[in-house]
């Protein structure tokens, strides 16, 4: 069985923007910026034998705020700079009641099935309560990247860090 690190996209790999005081995903390529240290952290995890899977909610595509080709171009920039093995995307909104939108673990479970991932040896890194809850529901160790933003629901991760680089340090120190 394979061990993996599941990575949220916005706020973990690339920078969020601020609108009305809240962190939000970029909606244009001009707004898109990969966070400093993210490619290097991903390379360290990959070199340690982890499969890297992005698991991202992208409701702005469904609602029309972000055109799908723009979202795909953002993902392509990540894939060009980081050794990511798979990208799982949920385009739904909460009202759709799907199994894939975080905090539900559908994307993680699908990736585990697709790649033979052993979830109890795997980690999820995210910057929202939804990420932490999805990782917990799937049976992963959870790491929360804390930017000091209030969360609209509580979640208790296994570790709180300030960046993907710090998350990588934690994972590599504890990897089974």
**Per-residue tokens: 66:** 């972000």
Angle (nearest 5°) at CA 66 between 75 and 154: 80
Query: Which residue is catalytic, options 10, 60, 127, 131?
Result: 10
Separation of alpha carbons 47 and 140, rounded Å? 20
The kind and range of the H/E element at 123 are strand 123-126
Task: Give 42-104 as a DSSP string.
Answer: HHHHHHTT-EEEEEEE-HHHHHTSS-HHHHHHHHHHHHHHS---EEEEE---GGG--SSSTTS
Helix 129-138 vs helix 106-115: crossing angle, to nearest 10: 50
Q: Is 60 a catalytic residue?
A: no
Strand order in the sheet with 86-90: 86-90, 51-57, 4-7, 123-126, 141-145, 159-161
Q: Is 85 a catalytic residue?
A: no
Q: Which residue matches tokens 């009641």?
A: 97
* Residues designated catalytic: 8, 10
């Amino acid at each position: 069985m394979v061990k993996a690190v599941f990575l949220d996209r916005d706020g973990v790999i690339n920078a969020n923007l601020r609108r009305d005081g809240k962190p939000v995903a970029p909606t244009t390529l001009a707004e898109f910026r990969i966070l400093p240290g993210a490619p290097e952290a991903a390379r360290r995890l990959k070199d340690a034998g982890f499969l890297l899977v992005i698991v991202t909610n992208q409701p702005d595509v469904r609602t029309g705020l972000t055109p799908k080709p723009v979202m795909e171009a953002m993902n392509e920039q990540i894939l060009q700079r980081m050794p990511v093995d798979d990208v799982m995307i949920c385009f739904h909104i909460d009202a759709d009641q799907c199994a894939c939108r975080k905090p539900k673990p559908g994307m993680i479970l699908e990736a585990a099935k697709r790649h033979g991932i052993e979830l109890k040896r795997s980690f999820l890194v995210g910057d929202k309560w939804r990420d932490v809850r999805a990782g917990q529901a799937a049976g992963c160790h959870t790491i929360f990247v804390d930017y000091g933003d209030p969360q609209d629901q509580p979640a208790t991760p296994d570790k709180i860090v300030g960046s993907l680089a710090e998350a990588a340090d934690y994972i590599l120190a504890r990897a089974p």
